[in-house]
Amino acid sequence: MVELLAVILTLLSGLIAFVYLLKYVNKNQQDFPHKLPPGSMGWPFSGETLGFLKSHKSNSLGSFLKEHCSRYGKVFKSHLFGSPTIVSCDFEFNMYILQNEGELFPVDYPKVMHNILGKFSVLLSKGDLHRKLRSTIISFVSATKYETKFLHSMEILVLSTINSWDPNSKQVAFYKEAKRARKRLAAIIKNIILGRQKSSNARPVQGGDLLNMILSKQNLSVEEMVSIVLDLLFGGYETTAKLLSLIVYFLGGASNALQRLKEEHQEIRKRKKEGEPLNWDDYKQMEFTQKVIYEAMRCGNVVKFLHRKAVQDVKFKDYVIPAGWKVLPVLSAGHLDPTLFENPLEFDPFRWNDNSIRKKVAPFGGGPRLCPGADLAKVETAFFLHHFVLNYRYFTHCTTHLHILTCMHRLW
């Protein structure tokens, strides 16, 4: 009797699953008022998310995008992150999405990111709140990037970081631990802010004091102040650290570029007194360094895609992007497009001798959400490269998939 009941329950469960599958397939094959881009919606619940997120080399599109672009074209439909989605690997359409972020394609990041970054994150916020938070960050960047004292502090930080690299440092890899870390950091920052407020120490930024500048903004709540500091910590650390790693990796296989980079920084050092810190004028002389930075971002794609959502039907060529659908502009697709770049998978900073190249990339995003810390990130990276190429040498071990840093030591 028990066995018979188990068989009946199994058959019933299978029938329910089959009926649901038929409804899912029928739902995604229904006729829309307008023509959708071609594509596949994948499996129920998960859609094609697992295939989309499958790991691949940073200077490649990966098997998922290659196969889908080959089969459906550069703009196709899918089901990703729990939502029906339009994926764009078309550079022209991606730029249109970025330029119309507020009116047509607002941000639409998964809930998990809201839980970690908080509701006042500049990355996740929209409308007036986003403009208020972003303007605060831009005010800080504009007020400090020329300051000698601030730049010297950044150079000291670069040197201390290089000298203290620890291969055994702890890494946080789990969602719950990341949420706890965010909560602890927020509490620490909030206490510091409240302490500053009680001591009436709020004044316009002087000497690169970020908190003083934030506290001088009377229209910010404590929670918004905390979120701005956390955004700068998270965004300024992860993306810059990834960029530095990519540059070291790419330079390991580009001896001509590495030699040209050394020559540029040797010329800068010759013009300075011993022990004299770098300044803004030195940074402006690092022209080839800028080309290395942009080429590493083009090849390595620190940010591969963005999360957006269509708030109204949008016509693109012969198709219509339905209102309410998630839209993913894949920035890396444009950066690695052979119709835009010759030998796109090759790391070649010299290609940036052609000034028109800048119009074909969007490493810092675009439109009203252009990265507010882009200038500081480039300064920090340039200062790192100055000390790295002049004071250290390293060797790479080539495997089938990557170069591994096997030895690095000072030149004196």
Q: Which helix (H) or strand (E) holds 69?
A: helix 63-72
DSSP state of 47: B
Which residue's structure tokens are 């690095």?
Answer: 408
- Give the N- to C-terminal CA distance of the chain in Å, as an integer: 83
Residue 330: helix, strand or coil by DSSP? strand
Structure tokens at 201: 């120490």
Give the integer Cα–Cα distance in Å for 100 and 103: 6
- Radius of gyration for the chain, computed over Cα atoms and rounded to the nearest angstrom: 25
Give the integer Cα–Cα distance in Å for 113 and 81: 12
DSSP assignment of 338-407: TTTSSSTTS--GGGGGSGGGGGG--TT--GGG--TTHHHHHHHHHHHHHHHHHHEEEEEEE-SS-EEEEE
Report whether 371 belongs to an annotated binding site: yes
Strand 308-309 versus strand 83-88 pairing type: unpaired
Give the integer Cα–Cα distance in Å for 249 and 296: 9
Q: Residue 367: is it exposed, middle or buried by C-beta count within 10 angstroms (0-12/13-18/19+)? A: middle
Give the integer Cα–Cα distance in Å for 242 and 4: 58
Which residue's structure tokens are 């409308």?
Answer: 127
| Long-range own/partner contacts, residues 308-314 (CB < 8 A, 24 or more apart) | 308/97, 308/101, 308/105, 308/106, 308/107, 308/108, 309/105, 309/106, 309/107, 309/108, 310/86, 310/104, 310/105, 311/103, 311/104, 311/105, 311/106, 312/104, 313/34, 314/104, 314/105
DSSP state of 278: P
DSSP assignment of 184-217: HHHHHHHHHHHHHHHTT---S--TT-HHHHHHT-
Q: How many CA atoms lie within 13 A of 22 on its CB side?
A: 6
DSSP state of 107: B
Residue ranges at the known binding site for heme: 371
Residue ranges at the known binding site: 371
